[in-house]
Amino acid sequence: MDLQEITWKAFYRKDGKKGIRNKILVIYTVECASFVAKEIVSKAEEPEVEVIGFSGCTDNAYAIRLLIALIRHPNVGAVLVVGLGCEYVQPEWLADVAREAGKPAVWFYIQEQGGTKKSILLGIQLVKKLKDRLQSPKTVSMGFQDLVVGAECGGSDYTSGLAGNVVVGHFFDALVDAGGTAVFEEIVEAIGLVGLLTRRAATQKAEQEIASTYEKALEYCKAVRQYSVSPGNFAGGLSTIEEKSMGAVIKSGSRPIQGVLKVGAPPARHGLWLLDTTPDPHWMQFGITNPNDNEGIMDLISCGAHLVFLVTGRGNVVGSAVAPVIKITGNSRTYLSLQDDIDFDAGQVLSGQCSQEALVQQLFTMVGNVAAGSYTKSEMLGHKEYFIPYKYQEKDVVMRPCKL
């Protein structure tokens, strides 16, 4: 399969980016405006109109950076921002961010529109106008060299490290070789593997970034008195965090790691990148951050991922707003049980139904189809989950003394 020859039509943005979807994003800036925003999307009855939002009333730099990154995301064509009127996060300011990126944007306060019913009616009208402005969009050719793909795993079992994450690792290697960009995260699921990761650093700076990020993740696990391994992992055949780590990191493939990204920061160049989602040391405690699969997916999307792999051995049913999610399992029994939700059965390689090379080609075919407009199973079912918590994290990698 010559990846350089495979192309599809993409949506061209005024900032030069290419998107694989053309979504209208309805954003609420505080929990008090969430009902109205969600009702606008529900009553609009348009599959490419989606809602996301931040529940907090007070400001949070991580959440703001994430919202801005999602507004600028190439899969987003237009934005409606809904506020109540008291919150710190100002909807007009977010709408300005969208306009600066060349995207149609409107906003309003519920307090100024006369309450719930009038705000919902206004929102539906505004969404319709935004949709009209997105008619006949400019399209350009796009290929795998333009694609940014993220990877997350959740609900892992023993097959994740044998098949599910393995096929993603081989996919990432081929994508990077073709000039594309791959982003993996879950540094808290790399415990015990710092040497393996630092040896793959593309530069000395990248090596130091990876080591510092690992040390911070280790501090986090100690601070919250819990490593990233669960009863479900044990039930699925994993015995220790080190065993889970080996299976989790293999999804990164084998290519050099260019450096560490922070949430909301796009890669500076093509290649393989590690995303740090761990809170900074002063905020390492439960209640400050509540990590889950959808938070990780949103963090990957905020770095510009056009689509995200979610590898799950025991099964997961979620999707995401903004970017499609392709769910992969290495467990063929899970695939048969959850066929309406799981997109790809990597367990075929364990049963001898196909070779690893053939499996990777199947995955590239699926990704190409999704990038060209085919819906994933979560998209067909209407799964558009999102999670934006309070979190405290510097926007740049903080170098800490560490042993390499």
Which H or E run contains 155? Answer: none
- The tokens of 378 are what? 């979560």
Give the pLDDT score at 384: 96
**Structural domains of the chain, with CATH:** 23-136 (3.40.50.360), 143-381 (no CATH)
**Residue 164 in contact with residue 311, Cβ under 8 Å?**
yes
Condensed to tens digits (0 to 9), the pLDDT of residues 326-383 reads 999 999 999 999 999 999 999 999 999 999 999 999 999 999 999 999 999 999 999 9
Indicate if the pLDDT at residue 321 is higher than 80: yes
First to last CA, the chain: 39
**Distance in angstroms (rounded) separating the CA atoms of residues 26 and 289:** 24
Condensed to tens digits (0 to 9), the pLDDT of residues 271-311 reads 999 999 888 876 555 555 556 889 999 999 999 999 999 99
Strand segments, DSSP code E, in 229-268 are 257-262
Give the pLDDT score at 291: 67
Instruction: State the pLDDT confidence band at 195, using cuts at 50, 70 and 90.
Output: very high
Question: How many other C-beta atoms can be found within 10 angstroms of the C-beta atom of residue 38?
Answer: 16
**Distance in angstroms (rounded) separating the CA atoms of residues 218 and 195:** 14
Which H or E run contains 11? Answer: strand 7-12
